[in-house]
Amino acid sequence: MLKKKERFDKYVEILDTTLRDGEQTPGVAFTPLEKEQIVSSLLMKAHVDRIEIGSARISDGEKEALAAIIGKVDKKGGADRLEILGFVDGGKSIDWVCEVGGKVINLLCKGSEHHCRIQLKKEPQEHFDLVCREIEYALKRGLTVNVYLEDWSGGMRENFAYVYEITRRILEYPVARIMLPDTLGILTPEELSKYLDWMYSAFPGIRLDFHGHNDYGLVSSNSLAAVKMGINAIHTTVNGLGERTGNQSLCEIVALINDMSDRKTRVAEKQLFGLSRLVQTFSGKRVAWNAPIVGGDVFTQTCGVHADGDKKGNLYANDLLPERFSRKRNYALGKLSGKASIDKNLEMLGLDLEKNVREKLLKEIVRLGDKKKSVTPEDLPFIIADVLRQPMQEVIRFDKYAIHTQQGMAPFARIEINFKGRDLAAESHGDGGYDAFMKALRKALRLVDVKLPKLLDYEVRIPPGGATDALVGTTITWDTGERPMVTTGVDSDQLLAAMQATQKMINSLFGNKPATH
């Protein structure tokens, strides 16, 4: 019999499969050390309930990596939270899982008659018998067994009798969970709810997981529907990684469960943004600017009317407050900005300007916005200085610099700068021209006890179809401790554009503010 678990538990379990299904994203392959870091962040920081860390019998390298991960987690008593996908292969996957120290196997079998007959070329009863033998052997080896019904959604559509029979056979054994994949992302919330009702009616007390895909953009709606039907667990990936359109995004379903149902998760919401950035870096797959919760612009208000409403009473804020996810709300500056947007940004910068100066400032920002120039809060002091016709003090000047890159030699930079009237010089090697420049710059500024912030992101943009002499826009994001600072530089030379952005950051952080009245 299935291990019983209440259908409507207060807490919905989260199984994250970034390291298994997420790694099936084209071009994504995590190193063993990256996998260890992701597991640590998921378990120890985000408090995800379970992790599917990989598949059996993939490679010797995968075997070593999973053994190392399980060994480290087992020392803290959490190895039963790590799960490995296994196959109906005569016990080979089961032996493999045992060899790496695994405690839980997620056995993959066919949840639709179509897959069974076409892919396996087997009669259903033959497949059922093989699955049962696999379960018997896994239990004999002391493993906890979960069972995936691959293409369950297709099976429910075409022949519920098949799904019923394979489930009935599985339930003759003390498996822990039945996992229900919408393998091709074909279900609607209404259809999923109906099928789950069939499953619960046919098998009272059954413990179910839902594993959704996003082909029609419905995965979050489907997962929420499953939660409202009493599902025990939802499968996720960080940033929605996965084949085709990806899997259920971890952060999205956590927020949905917590806000849109009468159930909760144990996931630490404040850790989700950092986790997203970590996986984004390791995977090389950037998150869309408007991705809920973790997108770069999702907590940025552009419309001046919205900024005014927030100023007067948070009229344009919903329950997804940025502070829940260790983020902050920003107010964009551009042609759509209004007085409230300006005031919000001046407040964040600690500036207090007279009304007539603010009006001039707004006109200048709108003018720049009409040229499609992005205006950041860090640009404000420079724009204000121009509006007041008072040049801002340049605290740093790059007087001389020579940056060399030569085959067979490490890039080298020699610089002479002036910082607040003091001449400084330094030189350094680096991994690239800009890295060498930054190391030399940090070395020079250490002479006057100035510490520069860490670089968080570096983005280069060239106009579409641009020639080799086209202008390059370099945008650098810096970690200033309170909130990220973004500075830009433009030049036909990519390195000089980056140097301009760096100079702008230093003047913003260490320069005098313009006169106020």
Question: Would you please indicate which residues are annotated as catalytic (active-site) residues?
Answer: 20, 150
Phi, psi angle pair for 486, to nearest 5°: -115, 125
- CA triplet 262, 264, 267: central angle to 5 degrees? 160
* Whole-number Å distance between alpha carbons of 391 and 382: 8
- The strand pairing partners of 330, in sequence order, are 300
* Whole-number Å distance between alpha carbons of 26 and 35: 17
Would you say 290 and 312 are in contact if contact means Cβ atoms under 8 Å apart?
no
Lookup result for tokens 């600017």: 289
Reduced to 3 states (helix: H, G, I; strand: E, B; else coil), residue 143 is coil
DSSP character string of 423-459: EEEEEEE-SSHHHHHHHHHHHHHHTTT--PPEEEEEE
* Whole-number Å distance between alpha carbons of 179 and 207: 9
Of how many residues is the chain composed?
A: 517
* Whole-number Å distance between alpha carbons of 349 and 44: 36
DSSP character string of 265-329: ----GGGHHHHHHHHHHHH--PPPTT-TTTSTTTTEE--HHHHHHHHHH-TT--S--GGGGT---
Task: Give the burial string for 318-350 (b: 16+ CB within 10 Å, else e).
Answer: eeeebebbebebbbbbbbbbbbbbbbbbbebee
Considering only the C-alpha atoms of the chain, give the largest distance between any 2 of them, rounded to a whole number of Å.
85
Residue 306: both structure tokens together:
């919205």
DSSP 214: -
* Whole-number Å distance between alpha carbons of 207 and 134: 20
Beta carbons within 10 angstroms of residue 264's beta carbon: 14
383-392 contact pairs (CB < 8 A, 24+): 384/351, 384/353, 384/357, 384/514, 385/514, 387/357, 387/360, 387/361, 388/357, 388/514, 388/515, 390/514, 390/515, 392/507, 392/511, 392/512, 392/514
| C-alpha closest to that of 102 among 137, 55, 147 | 55
